[in-house]
Amino acid sequence: MSDEPTFDPRRKAAIRELVVSNAEAHPGRANGRKRTALVAGLVVLALSISGGTVAYAFGTGLIDLPPGTAPTATTTPPPTATPTPTPTPTPTATPTPIPTHTEPAEDPADPSTWIIGFDGVGPFRLGQTFGSQAHEAPGFVDRTDAICTDSYLWLRSTASSIGLVGATDGSQRTAAIEVGSSGWPDRATSPATAEGIGVGSTYEELQAAYPGIQQTGSYADISYYFGLTDGKGGWIVFNVVRNSSDERLNDKVAAIQIANEAVMPVENGSVRTMPSERCPA
């Protein structure tokens, strides 16, 4: 036995008639879905009076919805996930390689490649004996006068002159090195300092390489001495010629001496200047 409410045919017809009549009585009030909603509302009202249910009304044909007016479920689309932005990698800067400074190699046979420093010139060094350095430079020959061999070793090539000066103690240790030329001073064939000053350089070039270089002495208004010191007793002295009868020599470096105050060279009153003459003069 069913518990659902039942309608006898007369009651069912009466309810349908009520709904239809009411809808036809208000044709401009609604149409389409609004009309359907109106009809359904009237049915619900009628059912509530008679004790029926909406589901029962649809099942028994009490409510006949027009085609295409059946209620449809509204589906809410799921939220679209916002993609997480991919971080842009920061480019790593490529370090610029620092160029390395390489000093040109010194060639014992080529005096123009020799560097003049506070401790020596090319292959020759302060403190070494004459004998240990006599054959250090190919192309140079011994031109030492016999009366000077105890204190000097003079070596000459076709373009350059190197004088090793002994210490005052007679030990034949090299206390000074003197760079000169075998002819007219020629910078192209001379050893030079790291700043490029050699025998044959001009006085202007000397001043440009060593601004404020001090004058350390002079001789007879012809030789003017300008000295550099390392602050440890070492000196490099440049002999600049002036007032010479030969204009080719004026205002040029004619000779360079390297020495240290710790060991005094023979015939030197000071390592800050150079003797005007040496043995055998």
What's the pLDDT score for residue 8?
58
The share of the chain scoring above pLDDT 90, in percent, equals: 56
Is the pLDDT at 10 greater than 60? The verdict is yes
pLDDT > 70: percent of the chain = 64
Q: What is the pLDDT of residue 47?
A: 46
**For residue 244, what pLDDT band results from cuts at 50, 70 and 90?**
very high
Give Cα separations from 125 to 122, 149, 203, 246, 278 (angstroms): 8, 18, 27, 33, 20
Is the pLDDT assigned to residue 54 strictly greater than 50?
Answer: no
Q: Is the pLDDT of residue 88 over 80?
A: no
Type and span of the H or E element at 113: none
Band of the pLDDT at 171, cuts 50, 70, 90?
A: confident
For residue 182, the model assigns a pLDDT of 80
State both tokens at 203: 């006085």
| Among 50-64, 99-113, 144-158, the least confident range | 50-64
- State pLDDT tens for residues 135-170: 999 999 999 999 999 999 999 998 899 999 999 998
Could you tell me the pTM of the whole model?
0.64
Work out whether the CA dihedral 215, 217, 219, 225 comes out positive or negative. Answer: negative
Rounded-to-integer distance, Cα 138 and Cα 102, Å: 24
- Write down the pLDDT at residue 33: 52
The rounded mean pLDDT for the chain is 80
Higher pLDDT: 25 or 112? It is 112
Alpha helices in the chain (DSSP H): 9-25, 33-50, 54-59, 130-133, 203-209
Mean pLDDT of 33-60: 49
Sheet containing strand 141-142, strands side by side: 141-142, 152-156, 160-166, 174-181, 252-260, 234-241, 223-229, 214-219
